[in-house]
Amino acid sequence: MPELSLDGLKSKATTIRELIIRITTEAGSGHPTSSLSATEVVTALYFGGFMSYDPKKPNDPNRDRFILSKGHACPVLYSAMAEAGYFTTDDIMTLRKLGSPWEGHPNMRRLPGIEASTGSLGQGLSIGIGHALAGKMDGKDYHTYVMMGDGEMGEGQVWEAIAAAEKYKLGNLTAIIDQNGYQQTGATKEVLDLTKFQPKFEAFGWHVQTINGNDMETVVAALKTAKGVTDQPTCIVSQTQKGYPVVPLLEAEGDPNYHGKPFSPELAEKAIAMIG
């Protein structure tokens, strides 16, 4: 369980962002912008001392769990896990290639350390509740984290799960909403405006924090607070920018959402220069 300093975490996030761009550009498909918005949170979870894990023992019953419910953002997960030692950066360069286990959505049957096969949006929180409930029943003190997208929050199953987590008082469960303002077909506010998440979760009996999810210091502080809440489930509404920090390049391309589009080799080089 590495615990990097703030500067170490920022530098790790930069490395992970470069990998996200390189592997999706090499694949010629995938979701770089959905991955870039979530990079601070995923980096802090794996490298900020929050998640207890051992890449050599991916099935350790005491490990903390991270479920990427917005599975299409798996480039950020694969990149963080490669940095953590679950597999290599050469491995993840095979992203989305025929036969590669680094599929376009995480497949728990093919890769170590993947807690749930996701991609069909709306299911990850329910799976996370299963882990959290099992942990309580087994008397284990692991923590379960689930990341969802703001567009994903339109799925009805998510709201059933939110109610169930409160019923079972799952203080060992943290939901993170990557509120990057966009989903597949446009701005989340315009598609289905559920975007004021804090009062909704509070009404369901959750502890809630709304933060700037692209600021590493703030992310670390919020994850610390979440870990300290043990009698109710907690939610972090992580307000981010889709494609952060290369949004100006995407705007210049005429598409700030850039959903499900890899960067061309030229755009990738510009983006990596901007990140560095």
Closer CB to ligand TPP, residue 34 or residue 172? 34
Which residue is associated with the tokens 């087994």?
138
Q: Judged by CB under 6 A, does residue 70 bind ligand TPP?
A: yes
C-alpha dihedral, 64 to 65 to 66 to 70, nearest 10° = -170
Where is 161: in which H helix or E strand?
helix 156-167
Q: Judged by CB under 6 A, does residue 241 bind ligand TPP?
A: no
Among 15, 180, 241, 257, binds Mg ion (CB under 5 A): 180
* Position of minimal CB gap to ligand TPP: 149
Q: Which of these segments, 6-14, 66-74, 213-221, 246-254, binds ligand TPP (CB under 6 A)?
A: 66-74
Buried b (16+ CB within 10 A) or exposed e, 2-30: eebeeeebeebbbbbbbbbbbbbbbbeeb
- AA identity, residue 118: T
The gap from C-alpha 26 to its chain's centroid, in whole angstroms, comes to: 22
Q: By CB neighbour count within 10 A (0-12 exposed, 13-18 middle, 19+ buried), where does 156 fall? A: exposed
Closer CB to Mg ion, residue 25 or residue 188? 188
- Whether 168 and 208 have beta carbons less than 8 Å apart is answered as no
Site string for ligand TPP, 157-186 (x = CB under 6 A): ---------------------x-x-xxx--
Residues in the chain: 276
Q: Judged by CB under 6 A, does residue 121 bind ligand TPP?
A: yes
Among 65, 150, 209, 271, binds ligand TPP (CB under 6 A): 150
* In the complex, least distance from residue 37 CB atom to ligand TPP, rounded to whole angstroms: 6
Closer CB to ligand TPP, residue 171 or residue 243? 243
List of residues contacting ligand TPP (CB under 6 A): 31, 34, 70, 72-73, 119-122, 149-152, 178, 180, 182-184, 188, 242, 259
List of residues contacting Mg ion (CB under 5 A): 149-151, 180, 182-183
